[in-house]
Amino acid sequence: MPTVVVMDVSLSMTRPVSIEGSEEYQRKHLAVHGLTMLFEHMATNYKLEFTALIVFSSLWELMVPFTRDYNTLQEALSNMDDYDKTCLESALLGVCNIVQQEWGAAIPCQVVLVTDGSLGIGRGSLRHSLATLSQRNEANQRFPLPFPFPSKLYIMCMASLEELQSSDSLECLERLIDLNNGEGQIFTIDGPLCLKNVQSMFGKLIDVAYTPFHAVLKCGHLSSDVQAFPRPEPFVIDEEIDPIPKTINTDLEIVGFIDIADISSPPVLSRHLVLPIALNKEGDEVGPGIADDVEDENSANQIAGKIPNFCVLLHGSLKVEGMVAIVQLGSEWFGMLYSQADSKKKSNLMMSLFEPGPEPLPWLGKMAQLGPISDAKENPYGEDDNKSPFPLQPKNKRSYAQNVTVWIKPNGLQTDVQKILRNARKLPEKTQTFYKACFGFVIRKRRHATSPDKALVK
């Protein structure tokens, strides 16, 4: 899912931090160090992630629009200027604007807010914004939280927990998480403000939000190490009295295959790109970041490309056969693997997650009761594969979907004939156009002959 990094560049971020045995740092320098670590991790493990960078003080500015170029993001960190007071509300409004313009209101997004915990002063401060929250209406601009899109808000504080607790800063920041429907977390620096502790804090963020999901895809005795992107999130069943988040297993077992027509377009919780993870003979992962330079990386990728991989075999088979694979994600939780085309030449192996339960798709019945065709007394699809054992819509073409009405009025037919005659008078110069007009007329005449309303034109 996309990420928006929101960096505080107000004057409070320039406060010095004394580090023993080294030059004097500012809190902004600590924040840049932590974000550099985050971008390096994402460049290695989250290459497909789109990330944007916003800076703010009393106003906000989009430094880098959504991109996969993490070098550009790191360069922008070194080109940030210092501005005036902190205004968190304007920054959150900026996040709403750029996410909705780029992704709309349906795509989940992660927001990483980097600040020192200062709330600002006077009108526009977070304290003032929260105090006037209940006094706002549609005419008066609403507070940007909760975001109008699915989101998680991670607040990275360049301050210790004790420093935030000495004022009402922590309470106000926690209120932001509550306003975002509880989706998010606040991170503080453990111990003194130093580079090591900042790395530790951003490491916790990476563990929570940016750890890639690795799994083993199995089908009988065949298996393949894969990565699902984006990482599947835990799912909470609302109907349960004491809901417990369900997480998918790291062992994904394929339990069967089914025609695409039978599964149709089912309701799903989320969709994920499935990528194979190549392993060398020693069992280490072969991927970006392992090789020391470009040549070593290319040679490693060439070696990995020569190793047979079940994930590649599965993708090609599903694409050719027009089928999907039913995969078990956990106890009474299933999903499907299928080939999705990006273009005429490129396709990807995708995984969609059904809602947990023994019967996620009503027309298929209970998943545990499905079995192979060979167990049936006769082929449930018929001898010519012209029927389905499941209660599906027939494949008959609807009359309203057929483009058969060619000439509704006589003028249309007369116009087509005159076009042919005009080109015939200019032969041989208009030979190409003449043949094209004749061919089009024959096609339309044939369609009209099979049309149920051909009596309209006589």
CB atoms within 10 A of CB 112: 25
CATH of segment(s) 3-209: 3.40.50.410
pLDDT tens-digit profile, the chain (458 residues): 899 999 988 888 888 876 665 667 788 888 899 999 999 998 888 888 899 999 988 888 899 999 999 899 989 988 888 888 888 888 889 999 999 998 888 888 999 999 888 887 877 788 888 887 777 766 557 788 888 888 899 999 888 888 888 877 888 888 888 888 888 898 988 888 888 888 999 999 998 888 888 999 998 888 889 988 888 888 887 766 677 788 888 899 998 898 888 887 888 888 898 988 866 544 455 554 434 444 555 555 555 556 778 888 888 888 888 889 999 998 888 999 998 887 777 888 999 998 888 888 888 888 888 888 777 777 776 666 666 777 665 566 555 555 555 666 677 778 888 888 988 988 888 888 888 888 888 887 777 776 555 444 44
Answer yes or no: are the C-beta atoms of 320 and 199 closer than 8 Å: no
Q: Can you give the pLDDT at residue 192?
A: 82
Q: Can you give the pLDDT at residue 331?
A: 86
Mention the CATH class of domain 213-375: mainly beta
Cα–Cα distance measured from residue 88 to residue 93, given in angstroms and rounded to the nearest whole number: 9
CA-to-CA separations, 147 to 93, 151, 258, in angstroms, rounded: 9, 7, 39
Q: What are the two backbone dihedrals, phi and then psi, of residue 445, each rounded to the nearest 5 degrees?
A: -65, -40
Across 320-406, the runs of DSSP E, i.e. the strands, are: 323-330, 333-341, 347-353
Instruction: Spell out a b/e string for 60-77, using b for 16 or more CB atoms within 10 Å of the CB, else e.
Output: beebbebeeebeebbebb
Domains 3-209 and 213-375 alike in fold:
no
Q: What are the two backbone dihedrals, phi and then psi, of residue 266, each rounded to the nearest 5 degrees?
A: -75, 155
Answer yes or no: are the C-beta atoms of 355 and 267 closer than 8 Å: yes
Looking only at the bridges linking them, the beta strands covering 60-67 and 51-56 are: antiparallel
Q: What are the two backbone dihedrals, phi and then psi, of residue 413, each rounded to the nearest 5 degrees?
A: -65, -45
Q: Can you give the pLDDT at residue 292?
A: 46
Q: Can you give the pLDDT at residue 16?
A: 81
Cα torsion through 43, 53, 233, 262, rounded to 10: -80
Give the residues across from 268 on adjacent strands. none
> Domain segments of the chain: what residues?
3-209, 213-375, 401-456
Tokens for 288? 């970006």
Q: Rg for the chain (alpha carbons), in Å?
A: 30
Owner of token pair 């990807």: 348
DSSP string, 98-131: HHHHHHTTSS-EEEEEEE-S---SSTTSHHHHHH
Return the SS3 of 166.
Answer: coil
Query: What is the CA 296 to chain-centroid distance, rounded?
Result: 31
Length of the chain: 458
Burial grade of 388 (CB within 10 A; 0-12, 13-18, 19 or more)? middle
Answer yes or no: are the C-beta atoms of 211 and 228 closer than 8 Å: no
CB atoms within 10 A of CB 115: 27
Cα–Cα distance measured from residue 357 to residue 200, given in angstroms and rounded to the nearest whole number: 39
* pTM score of the predicted model: 0.72
Tokens for 438? 């004749």
